[in-house]
Structure 1
């Protein structure tokens, strides 16, 4: 009888051990990957430090302006792609200009609470003496984070004017992906 009980006890231990071995040690709940940042998660603005200001007074080469996004939410989130940028002009003839995208490939950027990332807008400034129909005078920028539909309205703080190429195939004014 004792041999039978020992055999049953051993069988129970083997079955329990097999069942325990079948559950991997890494069965702890997996940490969820961060989801994309929404407009409500972010704040935005122009970088205005001395090294970030576009050289709008020179007219011989392109220059860059930088727009930043800061994660103001309490969660980690991601941004990937291009922001939508529409410039609204100060002149009656300017209208709205939706900026073209560069050929650069976007990368996925992870933003923890308080982290900031920027993107650049390449601009082609022109002289004040350029005819009105050939220049665009920026007043406001409507900036939509990647994959979102709500935008931020930013006042253009740098002055100057840009060569108007809103219908060009490869304009001298365009935007780069977030993080590049």
Structure 2
């Protein structure tokens, strides 16, 4: 009886092993699709075109700045979710402000080699006459791609100041998901 069970178990292992190797590796990886983009795969920067520049010289309404990611790797990869964005201030009292996320739902973006996607940051500029304790003067942005831990350091190129709401539950300065 023991020999029959051993033989049946051995046959099951052999069949299972044969079935597992019957699928070519290229077919298995083709079905899996692209994996997520890593910080090392990407390049990042602020969009500098006319329509992409935030209106930092006004203080009546919100404005948007855009940050882009370009896939510089040899492979296709995906980005989905929110980047991590920490603004580092130029004033001694500014410190670092981790931006809140909007309520928008992220979508998965597929980036081939050389493809670019961006996301927007909504900002509420204030006038220069605003008391120092109420304004945040951005110097640089620490931008971490979604689901990553390493960041890019981007110098803030637009000047101006933002209403300081780093402790607010619904701040007027926040970020949107990648692709929006």
TM-score class, shorter: 0.7 to 0.9
Q: How does 1:82-161 map to 2 (within 5 A)?
A: 82-161=82-161
Which structure has greater helix proportion?
2
Residues 8-29 of structure 1 show CA distances to partners (whole Å, capped at 9, x for unaligned) of: xxxxxxxxxxxxxxxxxxx772
**Unaligned residue ranges in structure 1 (runs of 5+):** 1-26
2:133 is paired with a residue whose SS is helix
How many angstroms does 1:145 deviate by? 0.1
SS in 2 for 1:139: strand
What are the ranges of 5 or more consecutive residues in structure 2 without an aligned counterpart? Answer: 1-22
CA shift, 1:119, in A, is 0.1
Q: Deviations over 1:121-154 (max 9, x none)?
A: 0000000000000000000000000000000000
Structure 1 residue 52: deviation in Å? 0.4
CA drift at 1:77: 0.2
Aligned counterparts of 1:143 and 1:80: Cα–Cα separation in 2: 15
Match of 1:71 in 2: 71
TM-score norm. by structure 1 comes to 0.84
3-state DSSP class of the match of 1:133?
Answer: helix
Q: How does 1:3-18 map to 2 (within 5 A)?
A: none
Runs of 4+ in 1 over 6 A off after TM superposition: none
Q: How many pairs were matched up? A: 155
